[in-house]
Amino acid sequence: MQKEVQSGQTGNAAGFEAIGVAQAARAINSGDFTAESYAEALLERAREQSDIKAFITIDEEAVIAAARKVDKSRSVGASGPLLGVPLGVKDSYLTSGLRTTLGVSNLKDFVPAQDAEVVSAIKEAGAIVFGKNNLVEMSYGLTGDNNPYGQVQNPRAHNRVSGGSSSGSAAAVAAGIVPAAFGGDTVGSIRVPASLCGVVGFKPTTGRWPRNGVAPISHVLDTTGVFARTVEDCELIDQIVTNAPPALMGPEPGSLKGVRFAYAPKQYLDLVDAEVEARFRDIIRRLHDAGAEIVEIDLGEGFSALADTTTWNIFFHDTMHAIADFLEDNAIPTSFEEIYRDLKPGLKEAWQHHVLPSGSQWLSQDVYNVALANDRPEIQRRFKDAFATSGAEALLFPTTPCTAPEIGKENLFSIAGREVTYAALAKNTVRASGAGLPGISLPMGNASNHLPIGLEIDAPLGGDRRLLEIAPRVETLGISSL
C-alpha cells in the first residue's frame, strides 16, 4: 500500500545509515547481509526521521517485496552494481506504479505507468526505488518549503531550511535514510541543498544525463543529478546512468600533486559570510600543502551580472512551455493552468510576474533570443578562456555564501551584514548553471553554529569524469571534519 510517510515505531537501524552505495552493493552481492535486512533497517530509519518531511511517498510493502526478490535472485547467481540498494528519487521523476506528485496538490493521486530514463537505468543495475523525495512545488524554490506536503527540515538542525528544490533528496541522505538520492539542478537545486545539509551533490554537464520523464523548468538549463555520502558513490552512479567507463586510478589518496585549481575571489567571494570565507581560504591552503597548484583568476568585468541576469531570464522564460509540454507528452492528468491556480501565494505571485507572458517581468522573445545567441555563449567563453589561460582543471568556491537560514526567516536574512532573500543561496551556483558546467559540492566542515559549509568544484564543459577523479582526492584530505 502506498502512503504518505507517518511517524511510527522506532528502533536500531544497526548502523546501516552510515553505509554508502558502493559499500552496500558490494556487501549484498557478496552475501554479507541481505537486501531485505538492509531495506527493513532503512524503512525503520525513515519512520524515526519522518518529522523532517524528506519523503512524500514510501511504499513499504513494495520496498520489502523488491528486496526479497533481489535476495532470491542473488541466491541463484544474480549480481549488479547497485544490487538491492534502496535509493531516493525526487518526486519530479516519473516512477512506474509509484505516486508522482511533482510537489503539487493537483497530482496527489497520480501514479505513472512508466519510469523516467534515469530510474530505468538504476533499476536495471539492481537498485530499489525506496520512495519519492519531497521538493519545492514544481522544483521552483531554494528553501525546501512545500505547501501541500510540508517544509523539509534540515537534518543537521530542524529549525533550518534544507535548501531546494531537491530538498527531500538531500535531507534523506543527510539523515541516513538512504545512501543516495536523485535530484535536479537548474540554478543550484542539487548543490545548494547538498551544501546546507552537509552531503555530496553532483551536477553533471547539462545534457550529459538523461532528462526524459523528469518534470522540467528549462531544457536549456536543467540537468538530473545525485546526492550521496561520498564522491565514489556519485562516480559509480554516473557510470551507470551514462554507461561511462570506470574512473582512472589516480595518485595516492590525498595527493594533489600536478593538479591545478583556480579560484575567482572577485566573482565568488564578494558576498560571503566571514566564517565561510575563512574556511574556504583554509581549504585553499590545505590543497596547496597537499601538492596542488592554486591560481587566482578573474572572469572579467561584468561577469557576475551577465551570468546572473542571463541565467535567471532563461529560467523564467522557459518555464511555462517546458511544463505544459511535459504534462502533455507524458499524459499527466493536469494542466499548467491548473497547477498555477493552486500554487502557494508567494510562488503564484512570482509566476504571475515572471513566467506568464502577461507578467510585468516577462522576457520578450527578442531579448530571450539574444540571451541564447549571445549572452549564454559569452558566459561559456569566459569560463573556457579562464580555464585555458590559467591552465586550471577546476574552479573552487564556497557552494553557498552562508549556512542554512532559519525556517521562517529565509525571505529576508543577512549575509556579511547585508540583507538578502533566499535567491542569494544560489548566488555562486547559478553561474555554472548558465554555462552548463559540471559541478560537485563537498562538505567542508561546520561553522561555529554547527551547520555545514559546502565547497564547490566546477570543471570545464564535458569534464565530468576528470572532475570525479579529482574530487575524491580533495575529499580524502578530511576537509569535512574541519
Q: pLDDT tens digits, residue range 68-109?
A: 999 999 999 999 999 999 999 999 999 999 999 999 999 999
Q: Using the predicted structure, report yes or no on whether residue 123 has a pLDDT greater than 80.
A: yes
Vertex 85: Cα angle to 161 and 117 (nearest 5): 80
Please give the average per-residue pLDDT across 353-379, as a whole number.
Answer: 97
DSSP character string of 230-257:
SHHHHHHHHHHHHTPPPPPP-SSTT--T
Same domain, 296 and 309: no
C-alpha to C-alpha distance for 213 and 141, rounded to whole angstroms? 20
pLDDT level of residue 251 (50, 70, 90 thresholds): low
Please give the average per-residue pLDDT across 435-440, as a whole number.
Answer: 98
Instruction: Catalogue the active-site residues.
Output: 90, 165, 189
Residue 245 or 448, more confident: 448
- Beta-carbon count within 10 A of 398 CB: 26
* Beta carbons of 27 and 74 less than 8 angstroms apart: no
Handedness of CA 444, 295, 376, 424 (dihedral sign): positive
166 within a domain of the structure (yes/no): yes
* Beta carbons of 426 and 420 less than 8 angstroms apart: no
Give per-residue pLDDT as tens, 195-237: 999 999 999 999 999 999 999 999 999 999 999 999 999 999 9
Which domain covers residue 135, as residue numbers?
A: 16-300+377-481
Please give the average per-residue pLDDT across 249-270, as a whole number.
Answer: 86
pLDDT at 249: 57
Q: Using the predicted structure, report yes or no on whether residue 7 has a pLDDT greater than 90.
A: no
5 within a domain of the structure (yes/no): no
Grid coordinates of 394:
577546476
324 within a domain of the structure (yes/no): yes
Sheet holding 452-458, edge to edge: 55-57, 128-133, 86-90, 180-185, 223-228, 200-203, 439-446, 452-458, 394-398, 260-263, 293-296
Same domain, 216 and 352: no
Q: Among candidates 212, 79, 190, 81, which has minimal Cα distance to 139?
A: 190
User: For residue 434, what is the enclosing H or E element?
Assistant: helix 430-435
Please give the average per-residue pLDDT across 155-173, as a whole number.
Answer: 98
Number of structural domains found in the chain: 2
8 within a domain of the structure (yes/no): no
Grid coordinates of 243:
554507461
Same domain, 240 and 201: yes
382-395: string of b/e by CB count within 10 Å (b at 16+)?
bbeebbeebebbbb
Q: Quick one: residue 114, left, alpha or beta (phi over 0 = left, psi -120 to 50 = alpha)?
A: beta
10 within a domain of the structure (yes/no): no
1 within a domain of the structure (yes/no): no
Give per-residue pLDDT as tens, 324-347: 999 999 999 999 999 999 999 999
* Beta carbons of 194 and 226 less than 8 angstroms apart: no
DSSP assignment, residue 205? Answer: P
* Beta carbons of 146 and 194 less than 8 angstroms apart: no
pLDDT at 2: 55
C-alpha to C-alpha distance for 293 and 173, rounded to whole angstroms? 32
9 within a domain of the structure (yes/no): no
Residue whose entry in the numeric block shows the C-alpha cell 493552486: 342
Ordered alpha helix ranges (H), 76-166: 117-124
Same domain, 206 and 341: no
Torsion of CA 208, 141, 145, 94, to 10 degrees: -40
Rounded percentage of the chain residues whose pLDDT exceeds 90: 93
Q: Using the predicted structure, report yes or no on whether residue 315 has a pLDDT greater than 80.
A: yes
pLDDT at 255: 80
Same domain, 285 and 175: yes
pLDDT at 380: 98
Q: Could you give the 3-state DSSP secondary structure of residue 384?
A: helix
pLDDT at 242: 98
Q: In the listed set 332, 351, 368, which residue is the last one of a domain according to the structure?
A: 368
DSSP character string of 265-326:
HHHHSSS--HHHHHHHHHHHHHHHHTT-EEEE----TTHHHHHHHHHHHHHHHHHHHHHHHH
* Beta carbons of 81 and 174 less than 8 angstroms apart: no
Q: Among candidates 142, 125, 319, 145, which has minimal Cα distance to 217?
A: 319
Same domain, 226 and 107: yes
Same domain, 334 and 471: no
Radius of gyration of the chain (CA): 21
Same domain, 350 and 382: no
C-alpha to C-alpha distance for 440 and 372, rounded to whole angstroms? 25
Same domain, 136 and 106: yes
C-alpha to C-alpha distance for 154 and 161, rounded to whole angstroms? 5
Same domain, 351 and 307: yes
pLDDT level of residue 478 (50, 70, 90 thresholds): confident
C-alpha to C-alpha distance for 457 and 471, rounded to whole angstroms? 7
| pTM for this entry | 0.96
* Beta carbons of 187 and 171 less than 8 angstroms apart: no
Same domain, 247 and 308: no
Same domain, 316 and 420: no
2 within a domain of the structure (yes/no): no
Grid coordinates of 97:
506504479
Q: Using the predicted structure, report yes or no on whether residue 113 has a pLDDT greater than 50.
A: yes
pLDDT at 481: 67
Domain containing 383 — which CATH number? 3.90.1300.10
pLDDT level of residue 479 (50, 70, 90 thresholds): confident
Beta bridge partners of 48: none
Q: Using the predicted structure, report yes or no on whether residue 438 has a pLDDT greater than 50.
A: yes
Q: In the listed set 368, 389, 404, which residue is the last one of a domain according to the structure?
A: 368
What's the number of CA atoms in the CB half-sphere (13 Å) around residue 302? 6
pLDDT at 102: 98
Q: In the listed set 368, 391, 406, which residue is the last one of a domain according to the structure?
A: 368
* pLDDT, the chain, mean: 95
